[in-house]
Structure 1
Amino acid sequence: MSRNFTSRSKKKISHKTDFFVSKGIEYIDYKDISVLSKFINNQGRIVLRKNTLLTQKTQRRINKAIKTARQMALLPYSIKETREIKKEKDDKFIEK
């Protein structure tokens, strides 16, 4: 018995390219805060690779650069807004 494999769902292929490959940037500098901040979300977390459309190699380099910048106190580990929101929630809980 032969099976018909043509009924598989076809995934959409994204033709978007890697930001650093398209710009011709080979070295990602941990001191370049403006570029690194594009890859951090509003909670201070590193954005996933499927959202940034980076290659594996570039994503590893971005992760390392962000972590180095955090250790050198160039980037915060968490965003202040998140802490303030959490504090407000805690204050509401204590008042009740």
Structure 2
Amino acid sequence: MATRPTKPPKRKDCYFCKNKIDYIDYKDVALLKKFVSDRGKIRSLRVTGTTPQHQKLLSQAIKNAREMALLPYSSR
């Protein structure tokens, strides 16, 4: 039986590259909440479509915001 060739999934555009954001501020809670799940977990690079460099900066900003009690570690 022949298998159909699968198309590779289309890559999402990086939010930070598209909007020309150079610095991800940990105090910008509204922006950070877009990249956190409803359970409080940081969404993966594949889900958000960010570049690896921006994903690292994003995760550091989210962790700083959690440390400063701006974002919860988890939400129940």
**TM-score, length of structure 2 as denominator length:** 0.87
Number of equivalenced pairs: 74
Q: Which structure is larger by alpha-carbon Rg, 1 or 2?
A: 1
Task: Report the residue type matching 2:44 in the other structure.
Answer: L
Instruction: Tell me if the contact between 2:45 and 2:51 (Cα under 8 Å) persists in the aligned partners.
Output: yes
Match of 2:47? 51
1:33 deviation in Å?
0.2
5+ long unaligned stretches in structure 2: none
**Structure in which a larger fraction of residues adopt helix:** 1
Residue 19 (1) aligns with residue 31 (2): no
Q: Which has the higher contact order (CA 8 A, sep 6+)?
A: 2
Which string of whole-angstrom CA distances, capped at 9 and with x for unpartnered residues, describes residues 7-48 of structure 1?
9x4542525310000000010000000000001101100001
Q: Percent identity?
A: 41
Higher mean C-alpha displacement, 14-23 vs 67-76: 14-23
CA RMSD of aligned residues (A): 1.7
User: Structure 1 runs of 4+ off > 6 angstroms?
Assistant: none
The within-5 A match list for 1:30-69 is: 30-69=26-65
